[in-house]
Amino acid sequence: MSRFVQFSDRGVISLSGNDRVSFLQGLVSNDVTLAESGRAVWSALLSPQGKYRHDFFILKDGDRLLLDCEGGDRMMDLGQTLRRYVLRADAKLDIERAWSVFAVWDMDPAAIGLSESEAKVPFAGGQAYIDPRLPAMGVRVLAPAEAARAALTALGAVEASSSEWDAHRIPLGVPDGARDMQPDKALLLENGFAELHGVDWKKGCYMGQELTARTKYRGLVKKRLMPVRIDGTAPEEGTQVLADGKDAGTLYSVAGSIGLALLRVDPVKRKAPLMASGARLEPAMPDWLTLAE
């Protein structure tokens, strides 16, 4: 059964102007020119020191770029940060208040007109695109809420809750913004950006690139975000994880008996017992995630 969810905690920023691509290209971890070629890209904005600040999808909509990003205060912070770097560039940011963000899963993308060669198409007065991270993450829609909901329902999709979306996302090991990655602390490669197509290693310089490159080429990834099965009462999000009584990481997103935890690689490889507030955690790594030797 196909399902969809409307995110209450996400929004859309538009970026227009002749310098929109070159402006963003110098700031983010992925190749923005790929968005100009008709597909969405997942990317991150880092601090000058190379730590995670924001992640978002970038896609083309006519003569502008759209950023599918976290909403609320996080959107305000992203907008303010980007505006600080505009300087003399011909680039203008606006919040697309009339549009909402949806995710659709367990639906053949072809039902919306999407394919490998057509990874982004007009839909419900907005845009639909294939989530570039994993095929199982399905399709995302940016459009007016009522129109998108009606169009998806007409295709046979059933509206789901955010907790049902989490129950789909978490076992896949995919982070949900600042809920799973601490701004100004998290590293991209600890959180799957390399495997989930969030970093382009061939593009030119971007803000914070040095630390990300050094982490890759020196093999400095000592922690990884991964799904865990929870045996016992589910701890609160943000609970410390212990292995042999020592700090082993932090539990972030939780949905019932599953969660996402940032864990030190060493105790995971040793299969040390992992505990969080009295609950036993068992790593359940998806196929795409492998731990460094």
What per-residue confidence (pLDDT) applies to 239? 99
What digits encode the pLDDT tens for the residues 72-105? 999 999 999 999 999 999 999 999 999 999 999 9
What digits encode the pLDDT tens for the residues 189-239? 999 999 999 999 999 899 999 989 888 888 789 999 999 999 999 999 999
Among 65, 104, 77, 262, residue whose Cα is nearest residue 173: 262
Is 192 within the bounds of a domain? Answer: no
Residues in the chain: 293
CATH number at residue 237: 2.40.30
| Mean pLDDT on 7-11 | 98
Is 97 within the bounds of a domain? Answer: yes
SS3 164: helix
What digits encode the pLDDT tens for the residues 183-193? 999 999 999 99
CATH number at residue 146: 3.30.1360.120
- At residue 25, what are phi and psi to the nearest 5 degrees? -60, -35
> In this structure, are 110 and 25 located in the same domain?
yes
What per-residue confidence (pLDDT) applies to 293? 67
Total domains present in the chain: 2
Is 177 within the bounds of a domain? Answer: no
> In this structure, are 84 and 153 located in the same domain?
yes
As a whole number, the mean pLDDT across the chain is: 97
> In this structure, are 137 and 231 located in the same domain?
no
What digits encode the pLDDT tens for the residues 122-178? 999 999 999 999 999 999 999 999 999 999 999 999 999 999 999 999 999 999 999
> In this structure, are 132 and 45 located in the same domain?
yes
> In this structure, are 26 and 164 located in the same domain?
yes
Burial 198-221 (b: 16+ CB within 10 A, else e): bbbeebeebbbbebbeebeeeeeb
Ramachandran sector of residue 17 (left: φ over 0; alpha: ψ -120 to 50; beta: rest): left
> In this structure, are 264 and 149 located in the same domain?
no
Percentage of the chain surpassing pLDDT 90? 94
Is 185 within the bounds of a domain? Answer: no
Extract the tokens encoding 206: 């971007």
> In this structure, are 27 and 140 located in the same domain?
yes
Q: Is 0.85 topped by the overall pTM?
A: yes
Domain that holds residue 231: 222-287
